[in-house]
Structures are given as structure tokens and as C-alpha cells.
Structure 1
């Protein structure tokens, strides 16, 4: 085998191009003048091969570059909100001063059924009730112990009340949306002006039959549900009849109280249960005594018969 048999076409082509190039002339006497470069021969050859396949020498076929696409793979194609239909879908009731009109209350019935579907998806397939809720004309204020984030969802389905809640609950998933739909009365427990405003709103809405019942969790926070802690007096200062409600979560494997456990872990354990148990007991209505109507602390401790409340231990 001779050396003539081994040929590199691409290498020979580059060598021919290099031999045809003119030398670069640099004028060192006048450095301010532009450098003189001449690649005319090489440029002509390159220009003549622009339309040729650069891979012909190795036997590769011709190819074509696909055109650029004008489609943005990260663009959301949802159109802007236009037309009466789109606005009606997202219409909300943001007036916290006036009661909802009747047509809006009828639409809320659909939302209440959706909240029951949420409870069902959380594993609360059936809910045990003891006693009955009192009508709004008899007990304008309802108080309940607070164990989990499930209670606002349940009471929204059961009573559709106006709820008094901490401002921090507005950002919670599911719960925040539901309490806003209940014309929530926000309160900041660390602000004296906020507490005063909340008491004024409780009294105003409890005194008007056009508003629904006012629901409060007088403990002001969640507990494990075995005992009650000291009450905040906002529900008792107005001096209206109150119906207490006891919420229990019987369990064996998973304690559903929202204590020293994260929301993510609590929901994960809840979703991995076959069924979650909850009991709702409506207690007798408690009315303030005429000679002690202004004593909210005594009213908060009373039972229906006038003695000290027996529901301090509720488990």
C-alpha cells in the first residue's frame, strides 16, 4: 500500500486555501495608519462555495435548517376577562357592612354544598350530630370550641354564619376562601382597637335579623379538644343569647387536633385515613341574666340553668 492511497480531501482543500492567501502587511513606521490585509483570493473561493454542501467531501448528503418557530412554549393562552359571562363567574360579594341580598344567599347554597364535598374528600363521609341548631331569632350568636381547621368548613355548610376570625387565617388554603365568603369579621388579638372594632361588629350584626348568626371560637386558638381554655369575652359583651356547640374528633390512630403539628403533616395523615370521625353537639341556649347583663365574664362561665358551665371538660 503506497502513500498515494491515503488522501485527506478536507486537509488538501485547506492547504490549497492557505497557499492562495496573501500575506498580511503591517506598516510599523506609521502605526496610526490602518493595517493592510488582503484575503481576496480566499474570500472569492469561500464565496463561491457558500451554496455548496460543506460535507460533500466525506460523502454526506445535503441538509436544511428548519425555520424558526414563532410558538412560545411558556405562554399561557387564557384570554383576558371580557364579556358579561366571564364577569358573572367571578362576581364576589365584598361588602362587609351590609347583609347579602337574597339572590346572593341562594347562590351561596351551591358553595355550601361544595364545602360538604370538601369534607367528604377529607374523609368525613358522615357527621354525627347531637341536638339541633337554634334558629337565628332565638340565638343570634353561636360559640364553639376550636380543634381543627375543619370547623369553619363544617359550620359554613351547616349554618352559613358570619364568622369572627384572626387575620392570619385569611391566607390559609380552602379555609381562607370559605371565611371570606362568610363575610368574616377580622380581629387582631394583639391590637386593642381591632378588638374594640370586632366587638362593635359582633353587636351590630347580631342585633340585625338580616344578617346570619355570628359564629365565634371564644378560645381564640386551637386546642386538642379535651378541655377548654380561658374565653375571650367578645361573644359575651353584646349580651345576646348564645348557643354553645361542642366539636369532638374521636380517633384511634390519628389525633386530628391542630396543635404542635404542621398543616402539611396534618393533611397528609388526614388523607391517609379510611374515615375521619367528628361529632357535633348543640347545647342548650344560654341567655344573660337581667341583673348581670353587663357582666361578660360571669356570662361566659354560666350554664343554661344559671350555674357555672359544665362544658369546661368536653371530652
Structure 2
């Protein structure tokens, strides 16, 4: 095993030790018993629990989750019966009356039911309405008390975050275009009012998405009947201990935002989707008997005039506020470094065992 402690080449061709990689790519390092990429050598007790869960728990949870998605899909079909969008997927976000009511109720039910089927039996929520959220307290006095936020901004740890926000507010998300064509899930995402983006496309298409997001944020800010949007301004997932630089998309509209901090506590598997493949993570998560989630709802953040004029300043101030309230570590790296880290890990097959031993 001496070779497993040697250095490995990263994407830039330089040799770095495991400790150096962990320090450099801290937001994406796993610390659970499964090790980095979920490939660590497990103790026999964990292997026994995993074997039992694979045979008994996994099939039941998959069946339950599928049932809940089917119910939500059928509800969406009823809500959209004898109705067709006017040529744009965004029209689904403007369903009203009984149609919107059905979608809201079905989405919230499905989101919470799916969380339950994933082992999140109890979710601890905290609402901190008393906090001061403004850099300029004088400007805050000029804000309308109780003014509705235009968008929910949340840290991003796992795809489970989406299920929580779906259960709490039946909110809209920005998703990959391929999601719209997925069986069962596609119609649900459309009824939620999701905005789709082709990640392969460059500036022109992204500008169109940005304009649509801003329009929807303004609508939600001005009307309670408009669905809220949830944006993850970090642009990728972390291990939950850090907060990455925020993109400005949620702050361009100059509307107030509602910050939310999500945490996952664990003893065996971390629900964070950082340096582990999606399929492996989903199976292991479904095989964990109990999962725990904590959510902190911070008060609406009203931007000062200076923040309205400078979206980068607005984004950074909200980021610092969330880091302070959630005891999160600010990091300057982003998605590009995450890809570098994954490439470095995939370049050395012995790395997972090293991480596991280190964690033990």
C-alpha cells in the first residue's frame, strides 16, 4: 500500500500529494466512510448494512419513489388537460386558477414524499426573520415591510436540494434542456415552470435564458400568484462546508432575494454530490437507512441602491451574509477547479483507498 501514498499527476501535469489536493480542492473533498468518489474500502459492518439495504430497502424505495413521480405526473396531466402552451415552455409557468392549484399541491406532496422515500423522515427547519440583512440599514427603512422576494437563492450540495425546494414552495428551476424530455419527470418540470438551457450553447442562448430568468423574478416579486424561482448561484455542488463565488443571474433584476442554507448531517454516507458519480451516489443514498437535513431560512435581503447598481456587489454581499449565518467557509474556486479535481482523482486508481484510510 506504499504506492497508494505516493503523489499523482494532476491535469496540469504537476505532481501533487493527496494532502495538497485536499487543500487545493477543499469544497469537493468527501469525508464520509465511503471515501472519495464513494470507492473507499469499507469495514465489514458497513458492507453488511449495505448488503441488507440493497436487498430489502433499495427495491422498496425505488418502487415508492416511482409511484410518487407517477402520481405527480398524472396530476400535472389533469392540470394541463385540454390546454396547450402558446409555443413556449415558459407558458407553463403562467397557468392559473385550479390548474395552478393542482400543480402546487401535487408538486409539494411529491417533493416531500420523495424525500421520505429517500430516508429524510424529518427535516429540521429554522426561520431567522429577525436578522438584519442589509449593508445599509437606512435603505432598509425605505423598503416595504413584508415585500415579497423575487427569488430564493440557496447553497447547492446535492440533487436532493431540488426535492426540498419543490416540497417547500413548488418553485421553478433552471435545468438542462434534456430534463424536459425525460419520461414522467419532463412534464412535471414544465408544470413547475422550469427554464431550460443548453449548456453547450454560448452567449446568445445564455443571454436569452438570463432575460427569461429576470422576467420571471420580477413577476414573482410583483405578484404572489406567480411561481417563485430557486437559483443555486454557485453553479455546482460542494461538500456542504464551503460557499463558492456567486454568479450574478439571481441579482440582475434588482429584486429582493430570500437566502436559504441547506445542511446534511450524516454518520455513514454524505448526501453531498461532490466527487462521486451520480448512479453510485443515488444507489448508496437510497441504501442509507436514515438521512438528515437541516434548513435555515434567512430573512428577505433587500438590496441597497449601490447593490442594485452593481449586481456583483449584491451577489457578494448576499454570499458573505449566508456564509456568516451558516458558518460556511468562503472559497474562490468554482466548476473549472471541480473538473480539475475529478480529472486528478481519475488519474490514480489507488486514491480512493488513501482517502478512506486517512478518514479512518
Query: Compared with structure 1, are the counterparts of its residues 313 and 121 closer, same or farther at alpha carbon in structure 2 (3 Å cutoff)?
Result: same
Is the alpha carbon distance of 1:282 and 1:88 closer, same or farther for their aligned partners in structure 2, counting shifts above 3 Å?
Answer: closer
Aligned to 1:248: 263
| Cα distance change of structure 1 residues 238 and 251 upon mapping to structure 2, 3 Å threshold | same
**Structure 1 CA distance for aligned equivalents of residues 185 and 314 of structure 2:** 30
Offset, 1:281: 0.6
Aligned partner of 1:180 in structure 2 is 190
Deviations 1:84-104 (A, max 9, x none): xxx859848755136111111
Counterparts in 2 of 1:174 and 1:106: CA distance versus 1, 3 Å: same
- Deviation for aligned residue 1:310: 2.6
Q: CA deviation at 1:187?
A: 2.9
CA distance in 1, matches of 2:189, 2:157: 16
Q: Which structure features the higher share of helix residues?
A: 2
Q: Quote the residue 1:113 is aligned against.
A: 109
1:99 aligns with 94
Deviation at residue 116 of structure 1 after TM alignment: 1.5
Counterparts of 2:266 and 2:183, CA distance in 1: 24
- Paired residues, what number? 228
CA spacing shift, 1:167–1:224, aligned 2, 3 Å = farther
| Compared CA separation, residues 249 and 309, structure 1 to 2 (3 A) | closer
Counterpart pick for 1:196 among 207, 226, 239: 207
Give the Å deviation of 1:115: 2.3
Moved more, 89-98 or 197-206: 89-98
Of the two, which has the highest radius of gyration? Answer: 1
- Please point out which of 207, 231, 239 is paired with 2:218: 207
Between 254-263 and 233-242, the greater mean CA deviation after superposition: 254-263
Unmatched segments (≥5 aa) in structure 2? 1-76, 130-144, 330-360
- Is 1:258 equivalent to 2:273 in the alignment? yes
117-126 vs 182-191, which moves further: 182-191
Contact 1:123–1:273 under 8 Å retained in 2: yes
**Residue of structure 1 equivalent to 2:155:** 145
User: Which residue is equivalent to 2:73?
Assistant: none
Distance between the aligned counterparts of 1:219 and 1:157, measured in 2? Answer: 21
- The alignment's C-alpha RMSD in Å is 3.1
- Report matched runs for 1:1-315 at 5 Å: 88=78, 91=81, 94=85, 95-97=89-91, 99-108=94-103, 109-131=105-127, 137-167=147-177, 169-170=179-180, 178-189=188-199, 191-208=202-219, 209=223, 210-303=225-318, 310=324, 313-314=327-328
CA change 1:136–1:182 in 2 (3 A) is farther
Distance change (3 Å), C-alpha of 1:170 and 1:232: farther
SS of residue in 2 equivalent to 1:143: strand
Measure the CA separation in 2 of the matches of 1:183 and 1:132.
Answer: 28
Alignment gaps of 5+ in structure 1: 1-86
Provide the C-alpha distance between the structure 1 equivalents of 2:211 and 2:294, rounded to a whole number of angstroms: 32
TM-score by structure 2 length? 0.56
Deviation, structure 1 residue 282: 0.7
Report how far residue 219 of structure 1 moved.
Answer: 0.9
Distance 1:200 1:90, change over 3 A: closer
